[in-house]
Amino acid sequence: MQYYISPPPINPLSRLLAGLLAVLALVGAFFFGVFVLIFAIGLGLIGWLVLWLRMWWMRQKLGRGAEPKESGATPGRQSGSGPGDRQGEIIDAEYTVVSKREDS
């Protein structure tokens, strides 16, 4: 024997109204979820745009995309001592091994 907390209505009009309210609740929940998803995607896109602009700004500030400042300077060899000025140069160095890790 089935036991209901609140039994379904006997009146057919009440059943129809209860069914319509249930469908409206499901449709409302679906559209609420869609709006929450759109909001989350929008926040993600705004965050990505902020990070992209920040990286672009830092690259410009470090001189990686800067135009030559002197009229006679070439893009690869600018005068100055900024971090972006040594692009394409080879650095020769010597080193000494201080300690060696032995595999056992």
pLDDT by residue for the chain (104 residues), tens only, comes to 778 788 777 888 988 998 999 999 999 999 999 999 999 999 999 999 999 999 999 998 887 555 555 554 455 444 555 555 566 788 888 888 888 887 65
Asked if 79 and 73 touch (Cβ cutoff 8 Å), the reply is yes
- Closest C-alpha to 62, from 90, 85, 89: 85
Half-sphere exposure of 77 (CA within 13 A, CB side): 3
Q: What's the rounded Cα separation, in Å, for the pair 66 and 85?
A: 10
**Residue 45 confidence (pLDDT):** 98
